[in-house]
Every structure is written in structure tokens, then in C-alpha cells.
Structure 1
Amino acid sequence: MASNLWSEEHLNCPVCKELLKDPVTIPCGHSYCMGCIKNCWDQTDHTAVYSCPQCRKTFTPRPDLCRNTMLAEVVEKLKKTGLNPPPAQSYAGPGDVSCDVCTGRKFKAVKSCLTCLASYCETHVKPHSEVTPLTRHKLINAIGNLEQKLCPEHQKVLEVFCRTDQTCICLLCTDEDHKSHDTVSGDAERIVKQKQLGETQTEIQQRIQERLKEIEGLKQAVESLKRSACIEIKESEKIFNEVIRSIEKIHTEVIELIGANEKAAVNQAEGRMKKLEQEIAELKRRNTELKQLSETEDHIHFLQNFQSLCAPPEAGGLPSVTVNTGISFGAVRKAVSELKDHIEDFCKGELVKITKTVNKVAVYSLQAPEPRNSAAFLKYSLSRSTPQASNMRVNTVPSLFRSIAATLNPGVTNC
């Protein structure tokens, strides 16, 4: 009786388009799955106004939802009669390729035919395995934009690759504009390009590992700097407490100097790490795109996207660096002890020298990137043969000046 009074579409939820589950009827008379209407109203909780997704009638406060027993029984009877619709996942949704044969609401395509230039659902693709002429057609996993597989001039399937012009062409093109060009089948060119793609992937993965290793080295260097500074500052403070009244002014000046230098060095290292992480993220993203391209079954799609995706990665805007992991404030205690009796007369004349020396301290030093081809190797060789001074180098600081600067500054790091 229920199947005579109701059709499938009458018992579909207006929100999820599936057969009602735990049906509820709201005050305006429309029915929904209990989960669907709850989700809709949960999103408007902040407004305290709830509306019907169909008629837009509003309710305040939020209505209580009770299962519509009668409607639930009708749905169950329809299921037993075999009238429930196909599962929702068989229908084409946003981003899915729809069947070109289905009428009305289209099902999701599972295969595309490069001969027919059409996509088919599970039902309509069956003739390609049952009808003899169709069994010779080439089927691939469903893809969209099949019109891109046609030659714009001859409206024939693109199945040849012109190496001269680096483009996909049809068989008729090989007898006309590309007659004297170097042409091969799409399958053959895919093999060549696949190998190049693999080499590019390997290079990207190697670059990622190098950058990760560099980041780890920078982190260790920063921690080493902080630990060493913390230890030596504490020990040196014990000595300087004996002469602090006579050197209070210069002590303050050196504190500010070392604090600013440490902050700049740490900020510089952190900025470097951030850029490295950004480069790694970009390399990973590109590696994912290359992996997807490598796994596609559509040779034409592969060849059309190969040129833009498979260009070798740029050498990178960031030069390689040598991380200074052995930063230490050793010899501070001895130098400060020796300086104790002479500090008042000595500091004024040496403060200028200390300032210049401290400014050269950094967590890492820049190096030109290693050459990856002959042109880069030549440039690299010239740059290596020409001495260049860099303010990023960690020079050997005179132990006396270095000791004074580190010891006088208790705020180099958060001890």
C-alpha cells in the first residue's frame, strides 16, 4: 500500500537527497533526516533563529525534534519493496566526472573512453566489455575535459607527440604541418618524460633533506649559543660583583650591545629557518603534483602538463650556509679574573674594539650554493678564487674582549 501512495522522491531528504534516516517533521510541516536538520540548526546557534531550509520559515526558540514514527515506517516498507534509490555516492557530485549517457540526474562516471571521447558510469560502460567493436577502445579512469584530447585543427584524438615543437598532435598533423618533424607515439614519449620526472623528483627530495638537515643544525647552534652564554654569564657575574661600582657605566653599555647582538643573531637564524621551511613546503607541494602526474593513466594529460610541472627546480634564492655549532664563551672566567685589577683604566680604551668584534658574531656563515651544471660550476669557481669578506663570518674574537662583553651582560639569554 505504501508503495502505491509514495514515490521515492517524496521520501528523499531535501538536504542530503538520500532516503530519509530517522525522519523528523518540523513545525512548518517539512520533513528531514534528524542528523541533517540538526547540522543545519547547529550552524545558526549563535543567532538563536532557526529556519526551514525549504520554506525559510523561522522558529524561536529552537524546536524540539521528535522522530516521525509513521514516516519512518513508510520508509522501511519502501526499502523492503526494493524501491529505495541507488546509494548517493553513485551520483555525480561537485568535482566528479558525470556520465555522458545518463539522462536526468547523472551518475558518477567510472571510465572515460579515449576513442569515443565520452565518460561512462558503471552501467553505461558495460557495452565496452561486451560489444566486440567497442572492446578495442581505450578506457582509462574517468577524467574531465575530454575535448582537450582532440586536435583543434582536425578534431582527431591527440595520440602523437612532436619532439620538435614539444606538443601533442593527431595522426593527420604528422602528414601536414609536422611532416618533417621528429614525432613519436604518446606512449614512447611518456617513457622518456617519466624518466626525467623521476630525476626531478629525486632532486627535490634531496633538496628537502638538505634543508631539513640545515634547519636542525641551526636549531642546535642557537641552543648551543644560549647554553654557553647562560653558563658563562652566571660565572662571570660572581667576579664582576667585586668591581661593579667602578665599571657600572661600561657594564650597562656592554649589556645592551650583547643583548642586541644576540637578539639579531637569533632573529636572523629564525628568519633563515622560516625561509627554509617555506622552501620545503613549496618543494613538497611540487613533489605531490609530480607524483600525481607520474601516476596518471592519461598519456596526453601527462604530456600536456609535463612541461610546466617537470622543469628542474630552481637553484633556490637561499645560499647554502655553514652552521657554527661550536659557539662558546670559554676562557671568560680566567680573562675576567686577570682583568679584575686593571678593568677601570682598561675598559674605556677597549670599548670601541669590543663593539666592532661583537658585531661580527653570528650563528652561521653564508656560502655560495654548490654548482649543479657547467655554467654554475664556472661561476662557483670564480667566486671561490676571489676572496670576499662577509659580515656573517664568525671571526676569532680576542679572548679578553670577548670575555668582557659576555660577562658584563646577564641578559644575553633567558637563563
Structure 2
Amino acid sequence: MAQAGVFLEQDQFNCSICLDVLKDPVTVPCGHSYCKGCIKGYWDQDDYLGIYGCPQCRQSFAPRPVLGRNTMLADVVDRLKKTGLGSSSALSEAPMSEPTFAEPGDVECDVCTGRKNKAFRSCLVCLASYCETHLKPHYESPAFQKHRLTAPSSKLQDSLCSRHDKLLEVFCRTDQHCICYLCLTDEHKGHDTVLASAEMTEKKNALAEMQRNSQQKIQEREKELQDLRQATQSLTLSAQAALEESERIFTELVCSIERRRTEVKELIRVQERAAMAQAEELLRQLEREITELKKRDTELDQLVQTEDHISFLQNYRSACTQPVTMDIPGITVDPGFGCVMSAVSEFQALLEDVCQGGFVNISEKVKDVTIIQNTKPNMDTEPNAALPPVAPVTFPVTPIFQNTFGTAAPTFNGFTFASFASRPSGTRLRTQQRRRRR
């Protein structure tokens, strides 16, 4: 395990072009380091393009960068070589991990026979994939020094030009195709071309910007979703509270009207009993007085018919005495509770006005309660963003009274209601006239 750790640490000082320990290391502007000879040979192939790229990160540079020796890295490599771990022989003698057989979906080694091992690297020059055992010649033999190794891939043929069988390393912006260097002198001559690595960097930057915008939009939508959920929960709780409060208030209102109905009924009964008691007392007095007057009339008749002078004269004085009669108060010939019915009718009209105005006000307030403000969507960016129209909320003003002149009015616990709207047109005017007369 310790030796494997040394191998991994030493591998950090290998050139990614020749895959050997760095020789005369130089660092390009993007920060990656290569053998001076390797990177010069790599860039010599791009002289006719005038654009030079990093083999690892594909960042492009123009003009060709001036290469300077990386003194610190060179000292580290020299010390590594002095320990005996930096030579190719030491590298070849470094223990390798046990071969891993390829599983379904893995890239297989193209050299293995029988059961194939899992590929460790793919070569863009050989157009083949190798396991760690068969990749060893690419590390040891100078013949493979210029070969380019990449991560294992099963689609190496897709990296070749179909016409020239050369590696696709250039992107034609005119035709939006990947091409090889030979295509630049053929059908793509004079086109707007750039290194594929440079085009990838540019497009990745564009994708990064799109991703940032998308993530920002996602955050905005998540915030709006959270606000909408909170609004719906708040609306549900508020609607429930409004229902309970309106139920309580209307129950109290019904109970209040019921109490007033009972009080009016009791007032009428009390007044009826008081008036009847007064009338009955006067009736008894009148009956007694009539009885006395009839008795006196009988005595006068007897006195008129007597023939005894002495008896007549003795009784005449008492018969001439006028009986005491009571003062009779004024009596209404057609008494009734018509004024009470008028007062109840006025109360009915007033209550109808209040109820109708109150219901209209409540209906307007109910329609003002909404979560989504109906705004016109941007049809250019969001053509399908139109929300379904919200049905207008109407608060039906149900007649709670009915005209007593027409069909039978609905009753509540014996109390009859009549609709203000179904009243005769002159009812309110007559009510006001009655008020002025009183």
C-alpha cells in the first residue's frame, strides 16, 4: 500500500503528452506543465491555425505563448529522480493493481483475449483501448511517445473524420461541424474555424451562463411556490375563521330578531290585557249604574200610579233626588293595533334596507379576496403561462322577507318576513308619510 501511494504521488509529475516523468518542465498560461519538447511538438502542428491549445483543459491561446522553464518543478523532478523513483525502469517496476474484468457497460481492452479486462486508457492514435497491462508499452517505448491517451471510450471511431480518417480537432462555425486539419484545405477552406477545444470552452461558458439563469429561475419559482402554498394555507384558515365568525354573528342576529319578535308579541298581549281589564271594569260600572237607573225608573212608575195622597207626598221627595252617575270616558268605536302593524311594517322596511345594503357590502368584500392577481402573461416568453380565469364570486342577496299582499311569506319561528324587492312600489313612500303624520 505504501509503494502504491508513492506511485500515485510520482504520477503527478508525469507529462500528460508523453506520460513520462517531466523533462525540462515548462508551464503554459493555464497552469498545466509539460515537457518542453512535448508541448513544442504539439504546438508545431497548430502553427498554420495561429491558435494554440492546452492538451488537458483545451484552453486556447493566441499568439503562441513564450515557454519558460519551471525552476521549482524542475528541482522537484530532479530530487525525485535522485531517489530512483523517477526513471522509466522504476516506473515499469512499480506494482500495478490487479486486472479487473470488464462488466456490462464497461469499456473492454482491445488486446485481451478470452475474458477481457476493463480498459484503463484509450489511445487516440491507435484508436484502441488498453487495460493497465497492455498499456505498459505506451509508457516504456519511445515509439508511443507522441500518442495521446484519454479516458477509456467505446466511441473512438466517432473522433475520426469520415473522409480523411484523421482526428477531429477543429470546429467549423460556418457549417457547425467538427472537422480534421485536412478538411481545412478541402471543402471547409475559407470557413470560420476554431480549435474544437476553444469552441468547447466558449460553449461551456455559454452553458454555464444558461445554467446560472436556470438555477436563478428555479430559485425564484421555488420561492413563488412556497409563497403560493403559504397563501393557500392562509386563505383556508382565513375562510374558516370568516365562516365561523359569520355563523356566530348571523346566529346572534337571528336570536336578536327572535327576542324582538317575542318582546313585540308580549307587548301586544300585555297592552291587550290592560285595555281589556280597563274596559271590563268600565263595563261592570255601567251595568251597575243601568241596574240602579232601571230600579229608580220602576219606583217612579209606581209613585206615578199611587192614589194615596199621603204616601205619594212622603215618597215624592226621595224620588226627586237625582242619582249620582259616573263620568264616562271617551270610547273608541273601532279600536285596534293598526298603528302597531304600521310600526312593524316600518321596522320591516328599515331591516330590509339594512340587510340588502349589508349583503351587497359583504359580497364586494368577498370578491376582493384573491390569491392570484390576474395579470396578462408575456406571450413571447411564456406562451402557455395564461392562468384559467377565476370565476367571479357572487353573493346572492336572498330575499329574507316576502310581500304580505301576495303569496304566503316564509316564516321563521312564527315571524313572517317579506322581501323589500317584492314590495309594492309605494310602500316605502307610505311608510315615510306615516312617520311625518305622527
TM above 0.5, yes or no, is: no
Structure number with greater Rg is 2
TM-score interval w.r.t. the shorter chain? 0.3 to 0.5
